[in-house]
């Protein structure tokens, strides 16, 4: 474990953020479910994406990596009947792969690290119980054995634990014999991620009908090979968009403003707080602006909330971040962690079960901070350092490898100042 000391410094320059992790997971899975070769370009490698590549290879898909391009051939996918899948710490990989791996009868062993074994999977266990699929798991660590096969039918799934369960089912149900229906039994949160799934499925030739919270899935469909270029990641861009709004001068060179990514909300939220977005020939930036407090709903864009909380902490007035309970079931309890970090840096924050209330201040004070082995927390803390009066000492910054391995290189290129200890 290496601690990292970040000295206060303003950021300035142009950066290309990694390409979308969510879109990359989906493109890799769809391509590996299609017969023939698909070429997926502009992949940003990270621990999470490595996990999904490894998972589809374990099932039999051929995936050749050349720089940022993946050549994926699904002709032999599903040929293996005893499979071990290491998900690293990726919730997406786990919840997408559990149903996919059960496309036909096999034994699958899921492993993973960090807090992944503590993140909810009960939605799948309920389905296994109903369908007679055998499974054995341990408390607290990911060590899950499953044996069986998923059959088509009606799946009642809550919408307020994780949309990833629904995405996982949407990948596999079109391949099963017989039609299926997914009925989402409580208001769907993280809905934009389902839209990303439906969009990617359509590109690969899969048709899903849906109205409100019900998805109708025709069985015996076939994925068709398709070439796809992954666009810039708005969840990562959010760090630098907030950096801009709080006084830095960072332009992001690779964002698609027409993107369907839900974390594009970072721009609209910052605009509501009074920041102005500027489009320049080099890319997009948020202009340093006096920020006003905001009352916002975290349920549709959970991943950007820690860094949006940084903007709230530097806004005039008291901000409320509501419907934030699901932040507690990410790589760490991000609701508690965000509150703890802001408090350590001198901010007046209140943690509620489902919300946080943040009273704006002018500057952060220096502090020793945990990163909670959570990439989003480490990156949020680095952005805070740009408006801090003393050093921020992060206990371990290596967790950024989950989604953005070269985050601190980019940070330094922009003028950020850190020493590894």
Do residues 183 and 190 touch, judged by C-beta distance below 8 A? no
- Chosen from ligand PEP, ligand S3P, none, partner binding at 371 (C-beta under 5 to 8 Å by type): none
191 is in an annotated binding site: no
Is 193 a binding residue for ligand S3P by CB under 6 A? The answer is yes
Closest CA to 105 of 85, 130, 84, 78: 78
Question: Exactly one of 297, 303, 348, 391 is catalytic; which is it?
Answer: 303
303 binds ligand PEP (CB under 6 A): yes
User: Which of 160-168, 200-208, 220-228, 270-278 is the region at the interface with ligand S3P (rule: CB under 6 A)?
Assistant: 160-168
Residue of the chain from 115, 226, 264, 376 that contacts ligand PEP (CB under 6 A)? 376
- Report the residue from 73, 90, 197, 261 that binds ligand PEP according to the rule CB under 6 A: 90
Write the binding mask 10 to 29 for ligand S3P: x where contact by CB under 6 A, - elsewhere.
------------x--x----
Distance CA 198, CA 330 (A): 23
| CA proximity to 218, closest of 204, 207, 230 | 207
Task: Give the residue with the Cβ less far from ligand S3P, 19 or 190.
Answer: 190
The Cα–Cα gap between 216 and 218 comes to 7
Q: Beta strands 318-322 and 295-297: pairing type? A: parallel
Q: Are 106 and 76 in contact (CB under 8 A)?
A: no
Give which of ligand S3P, ligand PEP, none residue 299 binds (C-beta under 5 to 8 Å, depending on kind): none
CA distance 125 to 139: 13
Q: Is 303 a catalytic residue?
A: yes
Nearest residue to ligand PEP, by Cβ distance, number only: 91
3-state SS track over 309-355: HHHHHCCECEEEEECCHHHHHCCCCHHHHHHHHHHHCCCEEEECCCC
User: Rounded to whole angstroms, what are the CA distances from 80 to 56, 103, 238, 290?
Assistant: 11, 12, 40, 57
Of the residues 42, 88, 152, 162, which one makes contact with ligand S3P according to CB under 6 A: 162
The continuous run of DSSP H or E covering 223 comes out as: strand 223-224
* Rounded CA separation 112/121 (Å): 13
Q: Which stretch binds ligand S3P (CB under 6 A): 141-149, 158-166, 237-245, 279-287?
A: 158-166
Measured between alpha carbons, how far is 42 from 61 in angstroms, rounded to an integer?
A: 20
Residue 330 sits in the site that holds ligand PEP (CB under 6 A): yes
- Residue 263 in the binding site for ligand PEP (CB under 6 A): no
Nearest of 421, 419, 410 to residue 15 by alpha carbon: 410
190 is in an annotated binding site: yes
- State the minimum distance, in angstroms, from the CB of residue 169 to ligand S3P: 12
Q: Which is nearer to ligand PEP, 294 or 332 (CB)?
A: 332
Q: Is 299 in the site for ligand PEP (CB under 6 A)?
A: no
Positions that interact with ligand PEP (CB under 6 A): 48, 90-92, 303, 330-331, 376, 403
Show which residues are catalytic. Answer: 303
* Residues in the annotated binding site: 21-22, 26, 91, 119, 162-164, 190, 303, 330, 334, 376, 402
């Amino acid at each position: 474990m290496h601690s990292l000391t970040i000295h206060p410094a303003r950021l300035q320059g142009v950066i290309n953020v990694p390409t979308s992790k969510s879109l990359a997971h989906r493109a890799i899975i769809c391509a590996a479910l299609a017969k023939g070769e698909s070429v997926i370009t502009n992949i940003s490698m990270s621990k999470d994406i490595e996990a999904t590549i490894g998972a589809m290879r374990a099932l039999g898909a051929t995936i050749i990596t050349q720089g940022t391009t993946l050549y994926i051939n699904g002709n032999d996918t599903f040929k293996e009947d005893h499979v071990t899948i290491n998900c690293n710490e990726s919730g997406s990989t786990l919840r997408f792969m559990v149903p996919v791996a059960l496309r036909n009868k096999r034994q699958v062993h899921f492993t993973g690290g960090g807090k992944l074994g503590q993140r909810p999977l009960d939605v799948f266990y309920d389905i296994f119980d109903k369908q007679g699929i055998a499974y054995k798991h341990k408390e607290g660590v990911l060590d899950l054995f499953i044996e069986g096969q998923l059959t088509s039918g009606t799946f009642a799934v809550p919408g307020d634990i994780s949309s990833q369960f629904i995405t996982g089912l949407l990948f596999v149900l079109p391949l099963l014999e017989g039609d299926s229906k997914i009925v989402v039994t409580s208001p769907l949160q993280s809905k934009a991620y389902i839209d990303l799934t439906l969009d990617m499925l359509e590109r690969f030739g899969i048709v899903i009908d849906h109205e409100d919270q019900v998805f109708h899935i025709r069985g015996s469909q076939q994925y068709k090979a398709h070439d796809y270029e992954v666009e810039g990641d708005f969840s990562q861009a959010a760090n630098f968009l907030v950096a801009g709004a709080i006084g830095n001068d960072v332009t992001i060179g690779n964002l698609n403003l027409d993107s369907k990514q839900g974390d594009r909300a970072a721009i609209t939220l910052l605009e509501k707080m009074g920041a102005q977005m500027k489009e320049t020939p080099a890319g997009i930036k948020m202009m340093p602006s006096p920020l006003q407090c905001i009352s916002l709903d975290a349920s549709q864009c959970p991943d950007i909330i820690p860094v949006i909380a940084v903007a709230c902490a530097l806004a005039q007035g008291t901000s409320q971040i509501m419907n934030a309970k699901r932040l507690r079931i990410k790589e760490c309890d991000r609701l508690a962690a965000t509150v703890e970090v802001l408090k350590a840096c001198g901010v007046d924050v209140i943690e509620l079960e489902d919300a946080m209330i943040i009273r704006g201040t002018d500057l952060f004070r220096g502090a020793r901070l945990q990163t909670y082995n959570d990439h989003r927390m480490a990156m949020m803390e680095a952005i805070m350092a740009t408006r801090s009066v003393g050093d921020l000492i992060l206990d371990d910054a290596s967790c950024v490898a989950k989604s953005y391995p070269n985050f601190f290189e980019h940070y330094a290129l922009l003028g950020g100042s850190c020493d590894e200890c």
